[in-house]
Amino acid sequence: MKLRIGLLGGGSWGTTVASMVARNSPTIMWARSTEIVTDINTQHRNEKYLPGANLTNSLKATTSIKEAIQDADVIVMGVPSQSFRQVLLDAKPHIRPWVPIVSLSKGLEQETQMRMTEIIEEVMPGHPAGVLTGPNLAREIMAGQAAAGVIAMVDDTIAVALQSVFRTGLFRLYTNDDVIGCEIGGALKNVIAIAVGMGDGVGAGDNTRAAVITRGLAELTRLGVAMGGKPLTFAGLAGMGDLVATCISPLSRNRYVGTQLGQGRKIDEIIKEMSMVAEGVKTCSVVMDLARQYDIEMPITHEVYKVINEGNTVKDAFRGLIQQQSGSESDPG
């Protein structure tokens, strides 16, 4: 019997995942917007977030959380990190016992510094919690381009069972039991992508881009390992893979924010004009709190934080990085 899927969230990545899993399983997607729901049900499109993309015909949408998840065997959370808890609380009365809950979000909750699976475990104890992550740009996948991702859960048996739900012909899916590492990699790479975009915005070259990506990977690995993640995770799809895609793609929201900052625009102005969430903007302050808590040096993240929250310019940020004393590359600190 095919598993029934309830997906909460009507943005670009949530819609993409809903369209993919609808090929394998009966899927109902919840979105707040009546216009998006009508567009999906009548035209098999989500023109607001995925203009021109054709969705799987069997995908159904609703504005009712209850309708989307009351019969679901698997819940997929495709909402931004800062609204994740409230949507899950709204959904809680309608979720059947022991149903797995999989997060698509790549962020950290500001008030608590919690990962999304930690929120799931707190709000929905007893439900297996996992994350789907990796270098997955929604528009490329909807265009039929090949991609690979990771389904991370502590219970590998459940992760293997869910592979058949999320995997499609051109979307290759691996399992990983390092939930912490996969979530930290997905959240922190957004901050590094802002830094890369800042360099692009001021006209820095490929050498600078490569240096920021590489040293950014070292930063997120240090913190991720300190928090309990496995080093190899950060060399894989959920770490380096996701970081590279987000840092170099013109489709990346976080890189776009950095580019605009590099061109002299203010963060409030940039965010106001965007229809989709750039998770790294809010994540950077959480990461700095965690860096202090775990006594980890994160100079790139710190400079991004100062540009976003303290009014520093991008030139200030790069000046600060240049003035940093460089030690041995093999030094884990």
Domains parsed from the chain with CATH numbers? 5-177 (3.40.50.720), 180-322 (1.10.1040.10)
**Strand, helix or coil at 70?**
coil
pLDDT digits (tens, 9 = 90+) for 272-288: 888 777 788 889 999 99
pLDDT, the chain, mean: 93
pLDDT digits (tens, 9 = 90+) for 283-304: 999 999 999 999 999 999 999 9
Whole-number pLDDT of residue 199: 93
Task: Please name the residue ranges forming H helices in the chain.
Answer: 12-21, 34-43, 65-69, 81-91, 116-123, 138-142, 156-166, 179-201, 206-226, 242-248, 253-262, 267-273, 280-294, 299-309, 314-322
- Report d(CA 41, CA 241) in Å as an integer: 34
pLDDT of residue 70 exceeding 90, the answer is yes
Share of the chain above pLDDT 90, in %: 86
- DSSP 8-state assignment for residue 168: B
| Residues ≥6 apart with Cβ < 8 Å to 22 | 5, 55, 56, 58, 59
Q: Which position among 60, 92, 106, 189 bears the catalytic label?
A: 189
Across the range 47-72, mean pLDDT stands at: 97
Size (the chain), residues: 333
* Residue 189 appears among annotated catalytic residues: yes
Nearest by Cα to 166 from 42, 13, 20, 301: 20
Whole-number pLDDT of residue 22: 97
pLDDT of residue 327 exceeding 90, the answer is no
Is pTM beyond 0.75? Reply is yes
By mean pLDDT, which of 85-94, 197-206, 313-322 is the weakest? 313-322
For residue 239, count CB atoms less than 10 angstroms from its CB and return exposed for 0-12, middle for 13-18, buried for 19 or more.
Answer: buried
Whole-number pLDDT of residue 329: 63
